[in-house]
Amino acid sequence: MPVRASLAALGREATMAAPIAPSQEEPLALYVHWPFCVSKCPYCDFNSHVRERVDEDAWRKALLADLAHEAALTEGHRLTSIFFGGGTPSLMDPRTAEAVIAAARDVWPVAENLEITLEANPNSAEAARFADLAAAGVNRFSLGIQRFDDEALAFLGRAHSADEAMRALDMAQGAADRVSFDLITALPGDTVEGWERTLRHALSLGTEHLSMYQLTIEPGTRFETMVRKQDFTPLDEDTSAEIFELTQDVAEAAGMPAYEISNHARPGAESRHNLAYWRYRPYVGIGPGAHGRRGGMRTFRHKKPENFLSAVARNGHGLREEEALTPLEAGREALVMGLRLAEGIDPGALAQRLGAPPLLDEEATDRLVAQGLLAREHGRVRLTPPGRLLLDAILGEIAA
């Protein structure tokens, strides 16, 4: 299943040493990482941490300092989106979100329709903050609902019930015009028929956007240990593939086609922030473990919260390292990201923008077009529905 695409499949050798020249004309996205959670989900490999106490004042100051550092390096860019991710940003004091949003508006010119998304858990205590977070400037909520039945939620280690999820969804829709939620597909024991009932229920709830991710057993997670101990067996690949194909068909028929392999939206309701990633536009990341890509540089922040705070106190920012991207590396990353989109890529325009060599092996691309796995239209290359199931293999074939 094509949930993850690895750069390792394309190789990391680089034959061109010059970094990409920064552009002052491009829009910019801002990612803000809040690393704290109530508990660690057994499938999660994100940078999340459980702490008994969080000093909000210290974290507010650290995030603002980290933002100021990045703003000085991206002067003149136009801010198009802010995304609070985690961790669990709905645990954040709304005053912290408000301060970050205000600072971002001060240091960058902003798009008229600035999208400000905050990821939220459906726990009752966190849902009670939705109105205050909206008043702070958040205009789009992304809820981690994951499933609608308590048995599945317990298996996933979620801290909310199905009833809480529905109440939280109502509160989010009352607080903001734009709401999305996540679901996890292909749990052990799932059937195609059972998932169709779940999917149709999700599509009936009136949100503009759905993210549906196949359960992946990630290294270092509790689920990996459980699978190794044979506590449970992941769903078989054939059923997982059937669930994926059904999801595409049913969601499209309901007016929410997949604009990216795992993301569905009503026309015009696509996540502008995530489109910046997939279209390989610059973005800055602040907060523990946040990544960024700006000015021809790839940036990484300290992951452990305490190390991040120490770095900010010492250096005025939380950067752990940054490295120059060669045009070849950038082109390969852009290929990985862009082919996830239903719109695909314009390989010539993309290579020109990045100053990269040709992105595609034309002979291999033509062969996969003939096999019905890729399509060429008006200079663009995209995956066909059968091709979406084979993304990793296709990337390995067509990379120049």
Report the CATH number at residue 127.
3.20.20.70
Taking 60 as the threshold, does the pLDDT of residue 222 lie above it?
A: yes
Q: What's the pLDDT score for residue 2?
A: 34
pLDDT of residue 16: 36
Give SS3 for 277: helix
Same domain, 178 and 241: yes
CATH of the domain at 336: 1.10.10.920
Whether residue 67 contacts residue 286, with contact meaning beta carbons closer than 8 Å, is answered with yes
In this structure, are 34 and 104 located in the same domain? Answer: yes
Q: Taking 60 as the threshold, does the pLDDT of residue 147 lie above it?
A: yes
pLDDT surpasses 90 at 92: yes
Residues 259 and 346 reside in one and the same domain = no
Using a 10 angstrom Cβ sphere, with 0-12 exposed, 13-18 middle and 19 or more buried, the burial of residue 253 is: exposed
- Tell whether the model's pLDDT for residue 23 goes beyond 90: no
Residues 99 and 195 in one domain: yes
Q: Are 326 and 21 in contact (CB under 8 A)?
A: no
Per the structure, the complete domain to which residue 170 belongs is given by 20-278
Residue 293 domain-assigned (yes or no): no
| Residue closest to 29 by CA, chosen among 284, 271, 330 | 284
How far is it, in rounded angstroms, from Cα 257 to Cα 33? 29
Question: Do residue 215 and residue 87 come from a single domain?
Answer: yes
* Per-residue pLDDT tens digits for 343-383: 999 999 999 999 999 999 999 999 999 999 999 999 999 99
**Cα separation of 238 and 393, whole Å?**
17
Longest pairwise C-alpha distance within the chain: 59
Picking from 211, 246, 278, the residue at the C-terminal end of a domain is 278
pLDDT recorded at residue 297: 95
Residue 33 · residue 66 · CB < 8 Å: no
Among 124-128, 170-174, 250-254, 346-350, whose mean pLDDT is lowest? 124-128
351 and 222: one domain?
no
Under the banding of pLDDT at 50, 70 and 90, the label for residue 5 is: very low
Residue 307 vs residues 10, 89, 112, 318: alpha-carbon distances, Å: 33, 19, 36, 8
> Within this chain, do residues 219 and 359 fall inside the same structural domain, yes or no?
no
Is residue 352 included in any domain, yes or no? yes
Alpha carbon 116 to its chain centroid, in Å, reads 14
Are 76 and 221 within one domain? yes
105 contacts: CB under 8 Å, gap ≥ 6: 79, 114
My answer on whether 347 and 245 are in the same domain is no
- Residue 291 resides in a domain: no
* pTM value > 0.85: yes
The residues, ordered by sequence, that sit 6+ positions from 204 with a Cβ below 8 Å of its Cβ are none
Q: Which of 278, 293, 319 is the last residue of a domain?
A: 278
The answer on 86 and 176 residing in a single domain is yes
Q: By three-state DSSP, how is residue 212 classified?
A: strand
Give the N- to C-terminal CA distance of the chain in Å, as an integer.
23
For residue 25, the model assigns a pLDDT of 60
What's the average model confidence in pLDDT over 46-51? 87
Does any domain span residue 354? Answer: yes
Same domain, residue pair 255 and 382: no
* Res 20: pLDDT: 46
Residue 283 domain-assigned (yes or no): no
Q: Is the domain of 110 the same as that of 254?
A: yes
Q: From residue 59, how far is each of 257, 306, 327 by CA, in Å?
A: 39, 10, 36
The letter for the amino acid at 101 is: I
Residue 52 has pLDDT above 90, yes or no: no
Q: Of the residues 242, 260, 278, which one is the last residue of a structural domain?
A: 278
Domain assignment present for 165 = yes
With beta carbons less than 8 A apart as the criterion, state whether 281 and 29 touch: yes
Place 15 in a pLDDT band, splitting at 50, 70 and 90: very low
Give the distance, in angstroms, between the CA of residue 157 and the centroid of all CA atoms in the same chain: 21
In a domain, 34, yes or no: yes
Cα–Cα distances in angstroms (integers) from residue 68 to residues 30, 75, 294, 307, in the given order: 12, 11, 14, 19
Total domains in the fold of the chain: 2
Name the packing angle between helices 305-315 and 56-73 (round to 10°): 60
Amino acid making up residue 111: A
Helix axes 192-203, 237-253, angle to 10 degrees: 30
In a domain, 112, yes or no: yes
